[in-house]
């Protein structure tokens, strides 16, 4: 049975091993920042107050170009705002005074829309096929001449739900290594005080890393000196929702058997017994963010087998609902038991008689918690 599970998991993981070719494209659109755009910026601090101000800023800078990709309903834009300090009295050189990165989206997946936290911290795109970038450099002195370069490197990665499957697989069969699919897709954009670029993303899911540098200009051309960094590289996670995921289900009888940390969004059983844990597949009618710890909108089905050398001896079928890091599940556990006599049934109470050599699966009510792979995999050893 273990070999059968290995074969199934290997087939599921196979597509993510395929590598694709890379693509390059360069944008050159030097232009001055319109005065009307400055009202949506704090030019002294190089900040944008909120997503609403960012939307208005984009409306000024990209009034007709800011449209979603052919496969998208929402549009995303990475924004970098940088302010140079005043020129040094002796050297006449400028140093970076302040800079900030933002991610704007037209996504309205929640009542709150694209929140302030989404805008400033989360760095998360939800399965987009196109991304825009706007970069604004403020207070550039006439004596400061340089060529900024913004390079977007898109790296293909294994889908999160298959990563969970591989982690589950590695927990069941220690020593197994998962695929590493790294496929670069590079776009390079250059401009003066403000510029923008639009990138059609070939890979979903992917990580989008933005590298920003400058090169000095000498005698009207780019100098041969090494590029200087404008900012540390910043990475945005581009991954949408899925209709299925993998995890572990743990039967419990009372809440004290679970440690719940609402601050970190994690839950772990107090005691982990390999024989009481199920490897499960979760199904969703609508795609869900399997990386989120938020509540699922509706109950969903799950099914799995025991985390043991003979997994089919205990089968779980049920439904779950709750926060993703620790859902409550209710279901039926089908336990393989020997028949004592030819007429023995699961409902009977006969425990004596001659063993017939045949078996049956008897249903038992089961209640417990449904956990993502990260919530328990590290606490499990090879099944016994």
Full DSSP string of 347-380? T-----S---S-EEEEEEEEEEEEEEGGGTGGG-
Domain limits at 122? 2-240
Model pLDDT, residue 182: 39
Of 25 and 129, the structure prediction assigns the larger pLDDT to: 129
Q: Which of 240, 263, 278 is the last residue of a domain?
A: 240
- Residue 254 reports pLDDT greater than 60: no
- CB burial class (10 A; 0-12, 13-18, 19+) of residue 168? buried
3-class state of residue 42 by DSSP: strand
Rounded percentage of the chain residues whose pLDDT exceeds 90:
32
Backbone torsions φ then ψ of 11, nearest 5 degrees: -65, -40
Of 128 and 195, the structure prediction assigns the larger pLDDT to: 128
Model pLDDT, residue 88: 84
Give the integer Cα–Cα distance in Å for 376 and 318: 20
Q: How many domains does the chain have?
A: 2
Averaged pLDDT for residues 90-112: 85
Same domain for 220 and 303? no
> Tokens 């995921």 sit at which residue?
245
pLDDT in tens, 29-52: 557 899 899 999 999 999 999 999
| Span of 34-48, 188-202, 317-331, 348-362 with lowest mean pLDDT | 348-362
Using alpha carbons only, how large is the chain's radius of gyration in Å? 28
Same domain for 170 and 64? yes
Which residues are registered as beta bridge partners of 150? Answer: 189, 212
Give the integer Cα–Cα distance in Å for 336 and 330: 19
Same domain for 45 and 79? yes
Q: Which residues of 354-377 are buried (b: 16+ CB within 10 A; e: fewer)?
A: eeeeeeebeeeebebbbbbbebbb
Averaged pLDDT for residues 202-211: 88
In a domain, 140, yes or no: yes
Q: Which of 211, 240, 269 is the last residue of a domain?
A: 240
Same domain for 192 and 122? yes
3-class state of residue 116 by DSSP: helix
Tell me the helices (H) and strands (E) count for the chain, helix number first: 4, 19
Same domain for 252 and 193? no
In a domain, 384, yes or no: no
Q: Which residues of 102-134 are buried (b: 16+ CB within 10 A; e: fewer)?
A: bbbbbbeeeeeebeeebbbeebbbbbbbbbbbb
Q: Which of 206, 240, 274 is the last residue of a domain?
A: 240
- The encoded tokens of residue 142 equal 């006439």
* Entry pTM: 0.75
- Under 8 Å between Cβ of 9 and 17: no
State in Å, rounded, how far the first CA of the chain is from the last one: 14
Same domain for 149 and 223? yes
- Residue 81 reports pLDDT greater than 90: yes
Same domain for 157 and 293? no
| Span of 159-163, 190-194, 202-206, 302-306 with lowest mean pLDDT | 190-194
pLDDT in tens, 240-251: 999 999 988 888
Q: What is the largest CA-CA distance in the chain?
A: 101
In a domain, 213, yes or no: yes
- The encoded tokens of residue 109 equal 């997946």
Model pLDDT, residue 24: 39
Which among 38, 61, 36, 37 is positioned nearest to 191, based on CA atoms?
Answer: 61
Model pLDDT, residue 25: 45
Model pLDDT, residue 141: 84
Within its chain, how far is the Cα of 241 from the centroid? 9
- Residue 112 reports pLDDT greater than 70: no
Same domain for 233 and 247? no
Which residues are registered as beta bridge partners of 329? Answer: 320, 368
Averaged pLDDT for residues 76-86: 93
- The encoded tokens of residue 330 equal 């209710």
């Amino acid at each position: 049975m273990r070999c059968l599970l290995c074969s199934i998991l290997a087939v599921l993981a196979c597509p993510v091993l395929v590598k694709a070719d890379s693509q390059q494209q360069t944008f050159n659109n030097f232009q001055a920042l319109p005065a009307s755009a400055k009202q949506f910026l704090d030019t002294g601090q190089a900040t944008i107050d909120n997503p609403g101000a960012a939307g208005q800023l984009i409306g000024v800078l990209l009034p007709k170009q800011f449209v979603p990709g052919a496969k998208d309903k929402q549009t995303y834009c990475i924004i970098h705002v940088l302010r140079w300090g005043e020129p040094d009295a002796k050297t006449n050189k400028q140093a970076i005074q302040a800079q900030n990165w933002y991610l704007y989206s037209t996504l309205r997946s929640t009542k709150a829309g694209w929140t302030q936290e989404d805008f400033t911290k989360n760095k998360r795109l939800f399965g987009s096929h196109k991304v825009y970038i706007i970069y604004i450099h403020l207070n550039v002195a006439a004596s400061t001449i340089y060529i900024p370069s913004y390079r977007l490197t898109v790296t293909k990665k294994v889908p999160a739900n298959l990563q969970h499957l591989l982690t589950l697989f590695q927990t069941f069969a220690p020593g197994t290594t998962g695929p590493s699919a790294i496929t670069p897709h590079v776009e390079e954009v250059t401009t003066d005080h403000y510029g923008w670029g639009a990138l059609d993303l070939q890979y979903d899911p992917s990580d989008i890393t933005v590298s920003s540098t400058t090169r000095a200009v000498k005698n009207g051309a780019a100098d041969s000196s090494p590029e200087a960094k404008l900012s540390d590289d910043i990475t945005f996670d581009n991954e949408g929702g899925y209709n299925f995921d993998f995890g572990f289900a743990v039967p419990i009888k009372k809440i004290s058997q679970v440690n719940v940390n609402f601050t970190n969004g994690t839950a772990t059983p107090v005691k982990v017994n390999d024989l009481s844990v199920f490897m499960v597949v979760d199904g969703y009618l609508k795609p869900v963010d399997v990386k989120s710890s938020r509540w699922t909108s509706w109950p969903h089905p799950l099914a799995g087998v025991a985390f043991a050398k003979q997994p089919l001896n205990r089968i779980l079928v049920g439904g779950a609902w709750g926060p993703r890091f620790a859902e409550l599940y209710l279901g039926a556990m089908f336990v393989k038991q020997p028949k004592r006599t030819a007429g023995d049934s699961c409902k009977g109470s006969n425990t004596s008689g001659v063993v017939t050599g045949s078996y049956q699966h008897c249903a038992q009510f089961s209640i417990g918690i449904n956990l993502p792979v990260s919530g328990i995999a590290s606490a499990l050893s090879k099944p016994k």
